[in-house]
Amino acid sequence: MKKFPEMKLVPDEMREKLDFLGYIYCPVKEVFSDKIKEFIELKKDKDEKDKDEEDIKAVVPMGGCGKDEFFNVNKIKDINKFPSVITGAGFSEFFEEEFTNRFIDRGCFEDLGYISNLNTTYKDLDLKDPKGCYNIYSSFPYVLLVDERKLKNRPIPLSWEDLLDEKYVKSIAIGHTEEDINEVVLLYTYKNFGEEGVKALARNINTPMGTIEMAQATGANQQSENAIYILPYFFAKAAPKKDYLKIIWPEEGALLCPLYVMVKKDRENYLDELISYLYSEDLGQSIANKYFPHVNKNVDNKIPNDGKLQWLGWDYIHEKNIITRVREIEEIFYEEYKKRSDLNEKT
């Protein structure tokens, strides 16, 4: 799980006056920001005759993919100082126990009810948060990218379970450092295959690599033993087009990393159109073109016809604080990973 430094919060008056704070992953940040700006400008032009209509004050932080002056907004103590609408991604700061105790469990956010009649990409998935706070509008799916040159007569893995086979020892790359591993992959591995599955994955992981580094490395004649890359669909599609590279959509489904919106119950009505726009075909198609599948039923999500997603499930997420669970799984992973590293040093 990413560990960001504490940063100074923006002044209270800036947060209190902010209608919309839009966090989203880097690959689609510019597109998302442009569409939000475009919507606000169009709405402003349309509302010019209505002198009582408020201008929407919105920010989509563009710097550093997580490190910005609004980063610690989840530390706010008073809901009145929290932005009216905020989008988040993954299982990070807005799932911290302190935040969930303060705002989620007290029901400070609104159930938008937009996730009925979903896009077929999400068929058979129950995306509705029973607490009504996290409203999913899109996702960042994880798939496999296989380098057949490095398989050395081993079969192409077709499922997440295949990755745990000892035949793939030290052959898998996943976005992580020595102290920071992707929590999405850990959570699904632990839920589906338990502690032993996490240990098996740790044994099969090769050297640490960042996500962008993985996508770039696949096209190089590099000497590593990485044969299998676990990475978001966006980066798999961004990898060089080589005959030896194959994108595998796992049989159990790509791992769904959620993009969601939280809306304060106590908010202004002039934000209704912006909230609806987050679920619109226009915004949806713009980010789906970057391989962020949207829930709007009319969007072409550009994934394989037989490609499906698997969802961690809200019951599992709320059963135990998900950040606490991630840290426990990380301990299991790194303990096993270190055993392997120590063994290598002795041989």
126-146 pLDDT, tens per residue? 999 999 999 999 999 999 999
- List, in sequence order, every residue forming a beta bridge with 310; answer none if it has no partner: 255
Domains and CATH numbers, the chain: 12-140+258-319 (3.40.190.10), 141-254+327-345 (3.40.190.10)
Cα separation of 15 and 84, whole Å? 9
Q: What is the mean pLDDT of residues 227-255?
A: 94
What pLDDT, in 10s, does the model give residues 7-33?
455 555 555 578 999 999 999 999 999
User: What's the length of the chain?
Assistant: 347
pLDDT attached to residue 227: 94
DSSP string computed for 202-219: HHHB-S-B-HHHHHHHTT
Q: What is the pLDDT of residue 6?
A: 47
Where do the H-state alpha helices sit in the chain?
Answer: 12-16, 26-46, 97-99, 148-151, 183-204, 211-217, 233-238, 272-278, 281-288, 314-319, 322-346
Compute the distance between CA of residue 302 and CA of residue 216 in angstroms, rounded to an integer: 22
pTM (two decimals): 0.90
Average pLDDT over the chain reads 88
**For residue 158, is pLDDT > 60?**
yes
Mean pLDDT of 38-49: 81
CA 100 to chain centre: 18
Give pLDDT tens digits for 256-282.
999 999 999 988 889 999 999 999 999
Residue 57, burial from CB neighbour count under 10 angstroms (0-12, 13-18, 19+): middle
In contact, 222 and 99? CB cutoff 8 Å = no
| Token duo for residue 110 | 């609104």
State the average pLDDT over residues 286-291: 98
What span, in angstroms and rounded, lies between the C-alpha atoms of 266 and 89? Answer: 23
Angle between helices 322-346 and 183-204 (to 10 degrees): 20
Whose structure tokens read 């989008």? 87
Structure tokens belonging to residue 262: 């939280």
- Confidence category of residue 60, pLDDT binned at 50, 70, 90: very high
Q: How confident is the model at residue 64 (pLDDT cuts 50, 70, 90)?
A: low
Three-state DSSP state, 64:
coil
Find out whether 275 and 36 touch, Cβ atoms under 8 Å.
Answer: no
Residues near 342 by beta carbon (within 8 Å), at least 6 away in sequence: none
The whole-number pLDDT of residue 5 equals: 43
Instruction: Give 217 or 24, the one with higher predicted confidence.
Output: 24
